[in-house]
Structure 1
Amino acid sequence: MKKIIENPNDEETEIKESDMPFRYYQFDYSDGFSGFQFHWHEEIEIHYVVSGSGSFFIDDTEYNVGKGDIIFIAPRIIHSGKSENNDLVDICYMVDNDYLMSKNNEYNTDKFFTELINTKVELPVIHMQNEGYEQLRTPLQLIDSCVERRGPFFQLEIKRNLFDFFIELYKNNYLSMSSQSSNHIETKSIIKQSISYIQQNASGKLTIDEIASHVGLSSSYFMKLFKECTKMTCVEYIKILRLNNAANMLKETDESILQIAHTCGFFNLSLFNREFKRYYSITPSLYRKKYKMSEIDFITF
């Protein structure tokens, strides 16, 4: 996986991805990219499907997506994405909430983005035939053009087009909000805590008892809750996360397969090889040869 970070104003400045208010990714699932496992973050996430088909799991619901679809994921929402036939290509726009909000609320715009953070979005997938689709697609196309050209004012142009996108979302009632019950909020908080803990500790000998203890639940109740929210067992989630991490390392590093297996939480090489082939339909060594030069690019500023 190759990552490109651009800073047109000062090429000597070191840029950290986490410091940037806007990120632009291009994902090609046919180049060995396995998709997004369940995760959550504070940023707003928008996807545009360039080609192929797949599905996005967003806050308890699975949505089938295809060419031209726009997917909107509000902050703090648990979500994942995968390709149907390894043919999905999509563009992802990641936006820091503060990037859209005024510093002093002079124009009273903050309330719109505050709603996004604190309530559930009812309509996260917008298809070509839906009302207002062209008005929503146009700002995204203009952002694509800004990123490609990177003219002297492209940062301002991107921000303007993002505002146009959100205006159209509200005008066409795609951000219809529904209040969430306290039980729903508490459950989601527990699952998000557990996912964060798993991601931070996936390289070690992680156990269900350890994760359940971290979120203050019994192991049996935690496993039940996790499967209800993600439609997979916690054990399966951990295994797939580790395999995805291993696949990234096979493409991005020259470390040995044994070292990669250990780094990603597999302490038995035979087991790692077997599980990797079962999930990717190819051995780790062949996967590395096939996808070593594949790219997933992003531009950030």
Structure 2
Amino acid sequence: MKPILIDKALPEQLPHWGILVLESHHSSEFIMEWRTHSFVKIIYVLRGNGTILFNKKRCSFSEGDVISVPPGTRNRIVDGPNAASSLYVCCVARGVLRFDPSLIPQLPCRALPREKHFAHRVSSVVRRMVHTQQVASEMRPISMVTDALKLIKLICERSRETQKIARIAIDYRQRIQQYIDLLPSRFFEETSINAAADHLDIPRRTFTKLFAEITGDTWLQHVRRLAIEHARHRLHETDLPVSSIAFECGFHDLSTFYRQFQRHCGISPGRYRTDFGLQDETR
């Protein structure tokens, strides 16, 4: 059976037990006015995509996303072009959560980061609530409240997880930035990207990703660039043998040093010294 498409947002009138689930299937002409409500609203995106607007921010959404809208939050949904959305909208009265005043402040005002297992659990609970709501039964109120609490629990747990991940990411980024700041004076001690990641106690993949985001280079490119810059300085300022400078810069293989120097500078170390080194200054 095809769902009935709507052009305007459905009214959100909660029953006396405080839980309502709406199936909102939008037509291509769907328009939603700004609205503010006194209850918690959890949205599961079944199909389509678009944007949910809040007072001071906006969040894009697409199929499988879960959106949390706390009480008192002005909001409005705008569907994407040619992508009218179908949504499950779960409304939970504040009174249902009165037993724990800390719950509502924990609810984020945004689309939660997508994660397949989390989205599946949310959709399962919401689908069960849709079915329960349609069955006239003495157990309907308590069943709806029970599932609503499960849903709120899932949202709070996911929010805490993402906040923890964000804090860890910030900590990782700070550690890597400090490491990068020290590299010019210790690049010659570096042996491998694995050793660097282990030293900072950061997963290799995370280290690689964040290092590239911060520097614009891979770890090896960055370390070798620092080494070649130092070699250029030493060739210019000293008459040390090229082999000694190569070793000082962390190159244990002279042929590798020559290749890297040629790649970065376009000339050999010997030619560089001839053109820019001490001999040049005595002319």
TM-score (structure 2 length as normaliser): 0.46
Q: Which has the higher helix share?
A: 2
Q: Which has the higher contact order (CA 8 A, sep 6+)?
A: 1
TM-score (structure 1 length as normaliser): 0.44
